[in-house]
Structure 1
Amino acid sequence: MERLVDKVVALVACLPALAATARGTVGAAVVVALLAAVTSASLVEVLRGSVRLVPPLLCCALVCVLPNSAALLGVAACDLCFVASLEGGRARLAPLAAPVALALGWCVGAEGSVVLLAVLGAVVGAWLGLRAGVFECRDRDALRTRDELRAAELSLAEKNRELLDAQDYEVRLATLSERARIARDIHDNVGHLLTRAVVQAEAYRVVHSGEPAEKDLAAVALTVREALDEVRASVHDLRDDACDLSVQVRAVVERACEGTELAPTVRVEAGEAPAAVASCLTAVAREAVSNVLRHSNARHVSVELVEHPGLWRLTVTDDGTTAAGAPGSGPGMGLASMEERVRALGGTFRVGSGEGGGWTVFASVPRSGGDRRRT
């Protein structure tokens, strides 16, 4: 709407020169000049890029044929200045066509009064065009700045989420590692001492068989045995709490690829899992990545673990041209071990070439597999 108003004002500024040209009568030259100005103004709004300079430049060239058409150069000057301020570069020279056309019109026979009034209209039109171009550039810059700020905001938000996820992962990994360490210490130290205490109590009971102390020693042995059972149950609970697939699989892959040129991508959409399932899938992921390092020339390995309503699915894919554990030389111990682990839980295990090349290891374990073996 603002551009339309500017064009109307530029046309009004040209009316005095147009009236001086007509001298009370509307000739064919006036009609042609008016139609050319209106057509040029319309095409400028339709076209895009520097091509928009062509219609107003043709209007300027029309002065060579119809000298009195210089009266409407104010509209062309408006469009030339507007497009030049937007396009920049060599397009900034385009507005010079308006004064050149005015000089040519005066030279080829345009009346002096018409030329002077046309200069006034051209100045008004040029000012309107420059003002509109400056406003348009400012609007574009504002929109570009807004988009850049929005993109930076989204990028920062994404990085913030990644940092928070990494922090949660490190905290969870440290917590689970500490639980596993405590479980090992209890099992190796306290469990050993309680086992020895049970053996000693039973030995003393046998030695003092038939004496009054036999019943007391039997009671002590029973109490220590119950304590040993409680310690074992606590150790198993700690180990079960440490079976977070997301943490364990990521840790296994990162440790395997650390210090190598193999770039891992890990995507885990799984949480807690039974100890047997977690141990199986973690071992498969570790062995599959190790096979890629030993037998493949891959530069990238992708590990994906997804928890579905009825199963856990693990996929390890690399981009190498040499198969990691290629079947040409027969199944190795690593592949056999992975398959045995998965089959023991009632799962499915497959290896073969990937769709885009490389090697793919696929393993799925049903939820019922977590109840088949308890550690």
Structure 2
Amino acid sequence: MDDVMLPLGMGIFGFLLAALLQIHTAQYERLSLQYRQSQDDSRENQLLLTEKNKALIEKQDYEIYTATLRERNRIAREIHDNVGHVLSRSILLLGAARAVNRQTELHPMLDHLDDSLNSAMDSIRSSVHDLHDDSVNLEDTIRGLAHGFTFCPVLIHYDMSLLVPREIKYCLISITKEALSNVMRHSNASQVRITLQEHPALYQLCVEDNGTQIAPGCLKAGSSQSGIGLTNIQDRIRALNGNLQISADSGFRIFITIPKKEDL
């Protein structure tokens, strides 16, 4: 009897032990799965938090940038409207005083005063011009050009930093104006795409349309039929050591790259 009960007891014990191990294994796997899910959720939340922080910083930077531009515009207007007008009146009054002056000993003093006032006026004009140039928002200007272009719809892809050098900013604006003008004059396009991108070593502008009719001579700047538009674009790009490519494989396309200052 004992010989029968012993194997039976061992079998029951083994069965219970296996069941217990299975239960513990299932619990371990469940806990391991929960842990991995928790890690995944933590990484996802961290990535989302990083993206939100990045977006918040970019928004704050843009708000600071636009506020700076507005303040520069305000200062430029204040200088022009107040100091500029005072200097203008002073120059006019000085001119009247010199016209009626009969005392020769005052001539050198009046001449010196005239030089000083005109020099001050030149400085004011230069300061106002610089402030106005720095306060131009490249993205807003490009989007304004696209909005005012009624010939056909314009799609814009803009990926530039806030601090684009003044000379490059104005070059890109002028070329975009000229390119849109060329589309209207020479193409039967129904859509235009403008792409502005900043890369580590260069700035890039691409203006392309889906037109099927290209006026003869438009593919070569400086040709007898291209007019001054593409020639002006080429001159502006050359002044900045940039590169200009023009093609008409699938519509008219102007592709421009300008190296950054450290590469000029």
TM > 0.5 between the two?
A: yes
Matches within 5 A, 1:32-43: none
The 1-side partners of 2:8 and 2:248 are apart by 82
Are 1:313 and 2:203 matched, yes or no?
yes
The aligned counterpart of 2:115 is 222
Query: How far 1:210 moved relative to its partner?
Result: 4.8
Give % identity.
Answer: 26
Are 1:138 and 2:28 matched, yes or no?
no
The 2-side partners of 1:334 and 1:251 are apart by 27
The 1-side partners of 2:8 and 2:191 are apart by 80
Query: In 2 relative to 1, CA 151–177 (structure 1 residues): closer, same or farther, beyond 3 Å?
Result: same
Are 1:127 and 2:17 matched, yes or no?
no
The aligned counterpart of 2:175 is 284
Q: Secondary structure at the match of 2:214?
A: helix
The aligned counterpart of 1:159 is 52
The 2-side partners of 1:165 and 1:214 are apart by 59
The aligned counterpart of 1:204 is 97
Query: How far 1:199 moved relative to its partner?
Result: 3.8
Decide which structure has greater helix share. Answer: 1
TM-score (norm: length of structure 1): 0.51
Which of 138, 144, 168 is matched with 2:61 structurally?
A: 168
Amino acid across the alignment from 2:138: V
Q: Which 10-residue stretch deviates more, 141-150 or 342-351?
A: 342-351
| Structure having greater relative contact order (Cα 8 Å, sep ≥ 6) | 2
Query: How far 1:280 moved relative to its partner?
Result: 0.9
Q: Cα deviation per residue 1:205-251 (whole Å; 9 max; x = unaligned)? A: 133245555444334323322321331343244346447xxxx3333
Query: In 2 relative to 1, CA 220–226 (structure 1 residues): closer, same or farther, beyond 3 Å?
Result: same
Amino acid across the alignment from 1:252: T
Query: In 2 relative to 1, CA 146–339 (structure 1 residues): closer, same or farther, beyond 3 Å?
Result: same
Amino acid across the alignment from 2:141: V
Q: Cα deviation per residue 1:270-313 (whole Å; 9 max; x = unaligned)? A: 8352x333211233356668969x94547x754213463xxx43
Amino acid across the alignment from 1:315: L
Query: In 2 relative to 1, CA 196–152 (structure 1 residues): closer, same or farther, beyond 3 Å?
Result: same
Q: Cα deviation per residue 1:44-96 (whole Å; 9 max; x = unaligned)? A: xxxxxxxxxxxxxxxxxxxxxxxxxxxxxxxxxxxxxxxxxxxxxxxxxxxxx
Query: How far 1:175 moved relative to its partner?
Result: 0.7
Are 1:250 and 2:250 matched, yes or no?
no
Which residues of structure 1 form unaligned runs of 5+? 1-18, 21-111
The aligned counterpart of 1:328 is 214
Which of 265, 271, 290 is matched with 2:163 structurally?
A: 271
Q: Cα deviation per residue 1:301-336 (whole Å; 9 max; x = unaligned)? A: 54213463xxx4323367xxxx35666245488963
Q: Cα deviation per residue 1:102-133 (whole Å; 9 max; x = unaligned)? A: xxxxxxxxxx9866753442232022112111
**Contact 2:153-2:191 within 8 A present in 1 as well:** no
Q: Secondary structure at the match of 1:271?
A: coil
Query: In 2 relative to 1, CA 235–297 (structure 1 residues): closer, same or farther, beyond 3 Å?
Result: closer
The aligned counterpart of 1:45 is none
**Contact 2:65-2:162 within 8 A present in 1 as well:** no
The aligned counterpart of 2:42 is 149
Query: In 2 relative to 1, CA 287–325 (structure 1 residues): closer, same or farther, beyond 3 Å?
Result: farther
Amino acid across the alignment from 2:23: L
Query: In 2 relative to 1, CA 289–147 (structure 1 residues): closer, same or farther, beyond 3 Å?
Result: farther
Tell me the matched-pair count: 244
**Contact 2:241-2:258 within 8 A present in 1 as well:** yes
The aligned counterpart of 1:232 is 125
**Contact 1:315-1:360 within 8 A present in 2 as well:** no
**Contact 1:301-1:316 within 8 A present in 2 as well:** yes
